[in-house]
Amino acid sequence: MQKIIDISPEIHPEVAVWPGDLAFSRSVALDMKSGDNLTLSSINTTVHLGAHADAPNHYQRDEVGISGVSLEAYIGHCQVVHVQLPRGERIKPEHLSGRKIEAPRVLFATQSFPDPDNFNEDFNSLSPELIKWLAEQGVCLVGLDTPSVDPFSSKALESHQELHRTGMRNLEGLVLSHVEEGFYFLSALPLKLKDVDASPVRAVLVQDVN
């Protein structure tokens, strides 16, 4: 038997977005509750919403948008790793406490962005050294339960740039508080949005259970 674990936050008007970015909103054109024959609506929002995948053109000029990114990285075997370090710090290889990376996709649970509806700036992020080290272990995708792989105050986006240098893909905004360390099958496919700098994903883990 298999168990599906949802690791995406619920999307609604109060879900937190990066300060200054466009919050989620929904407009209803037709509504069965008002007597229409069907319900029809549209949404307006940042594409860096909830659980999402960045495209290379988010952090590199003249790079491809999310529709031009190969899908292989976003689906397959992954490893969830729990880390504990002071708020605001970047995760470094030494924070893994000797744990081996044994899957091509790694998701870090930091618990430093505990409420998807309330933005806190002191979340944990990734160090460029960690991304380089993960790439050397054969990792093709890294994800975490915070809004960014870089700190809130970073303008140079060193970890994003290291993602580009190594060709690694990333997921941000995951919810991992209910997920134990271990190995899973990840599915987090982005939408095929032409030239767009990111895409929301419905990220899930599949676990074999006896």
pLDDT digits (tens, 9 = 90+) for 8-30: 999 999 999 999 999 999 999 99
Q: Could you read off the pLDDT of 64-91 as tens digits, one per residue?
A: 999 999 999 999 999 999 999 999 999 9
Residue 210 pLDDT > 80 = no
- pLDDT given at position 144: 98
Indicate the pLDDT class of residue 44, thresholds 50, 70 and 90.
Answer: very high
Which DSSP category does 96 fall into? G
- pLDDT given at position 1: 87
Which domains does the chain show, CATH number per domain? 2-6+48-208 (3.50.30.50)
Residue 81, both tokens: 């790793």
- pLDDT given at position 209: 83
- pLDDT given at position 75: 98
Q: Which of 73, 61, 74, 71 is nearest to 197 (CA)?
A: 61
- pLDDT given at position 99: 87
- pLDDT given at position 172: 98
Q: Which of 52, 58, 95, 160 is catalytic?
A: 58
pTM: 0.96
User: What percentage of the chain reaches a pLDDT higher than 90?
Assistant: 97
- Catalytic residue list contains 58: yes
- pLDDT given at position 127: 98
